[in-house]
């Protein structure tokens, strides 16, 4: 089953949500609005990063899991690694004792590093999801709500991992801001056992 998702964003005019969906869909909606009064903010739904509108020439949102990027042709390089397998060669700097240990591992240094990275990704997956959700939430709330009452207190509760108190701190914010922030922060807090 194909679970690929396409980059999405959400647009606010002041504190009111005016469009959400794919970048193309949001651009279509925004093209029909009077934006002369200002106050337009557009946010990438994965990263919470504010993006410019109108999109720059050649702009394409990043693939899932990253922020927006420009459509840039990669620089021509000599072929290194195993391109058919998706292997990318990059420099890693280690101390001699690290290289010695890696060289003694089954499959050599590259295989050992891949195993270590995969193990760390699995062990820390939940923590990484929480961290990314907090960062996305904070980016959004800083850009749109930095002047809202209780912003500092809400920020502290976000990073203190207190979901109930965070909800209370933003409860008096404009409803569209609350709703989007609740969605962005849905994975930012530990799940409490029943």
pLDDT in tens, 88-113: 878 888 888 988 888 888 888 888 88
Which residue carries 């409490």 as its tokens? 192
pLDDT tens per residue, range 134-156: 999 999 999 998 999 999 999 99
CB contact at 8 A, 70 and 56:
yes
Cα(24)–Cα(154) distance, integer angstroms: 33
Look at residue 80 and tell me whether its pLDDT is greater than 70. no
Please give the DSSP secondary-structure letter assigned to residue 174.
-
Q: Is the pTM of this model over 0.95?
A: no
Spans of all domains in the chain: 8-66, 125-184
* Per-residue model confidence (pLDDT) at position 186: 93
Which residue carries 């459509």 as its tokens? 71
Sign of the Cα torsion 154, 157, 161, 166 reads: negative
User: What phi and psi values does residue 90 have, to the nearest 5 degrees?
Assistant: -140, 165
Segment 56-62 mean pLDDT: 62
Look at residue 130 and tell me whether its pLDDT is greater than 60. yes
* Per-residue model confidence (pLDDT) at position 75: 47
pLDDT tens per residue, range 151-177: 999 999 999 989 999 999 999 999 999
pLDDT tens per residue, range 107-126: 888 888 888 888 887 777 78
Transcribe 134-170 into DSSP letters.
Answer: HHHHHHHHHHHHTTSTTHHHHHHHHHTT-HHHHHHHT
């Amino acid at each position: 089953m194909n679970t690929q998702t396409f980059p999405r964003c959400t647009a606010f005019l002041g504190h009111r949500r005016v469009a959400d969906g794919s970048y193309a869909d949001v651009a279509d909606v925004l093209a029909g609005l009077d934006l002369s009064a200002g106050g337009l903010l557009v946010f990438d739904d994965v990263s919470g990063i504010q993006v410019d509108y109108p999109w720059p020439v050649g702009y394409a949102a990043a693939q899932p899991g990253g922020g927006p990027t420009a459509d840039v042709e990669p620089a021509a390089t000599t072929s290194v690694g195993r391109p058919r397998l998706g292997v990318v060669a990059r420099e890693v700097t280690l101390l001699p004792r690290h290289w010695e240990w890696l060289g003694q591992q089954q499959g050599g240094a590259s295989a050992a590093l891949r195993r270590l990275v995969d193990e760390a990704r699995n062990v820390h997956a939940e923590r990484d999801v929480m961290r990314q959700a907090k960062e996305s939430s904070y980016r959004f709330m800083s850009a749109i709500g930095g002047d809202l009452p209780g912003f500092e207190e809400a920020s502290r509760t976000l990073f203190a991992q207190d979901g109930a108190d965070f909800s209370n701190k933003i409860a008096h914010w404009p409803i569209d801001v609350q709703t989007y922030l609740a969605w962005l922060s849905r994975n930012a807090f530990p799940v409490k056992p029943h």
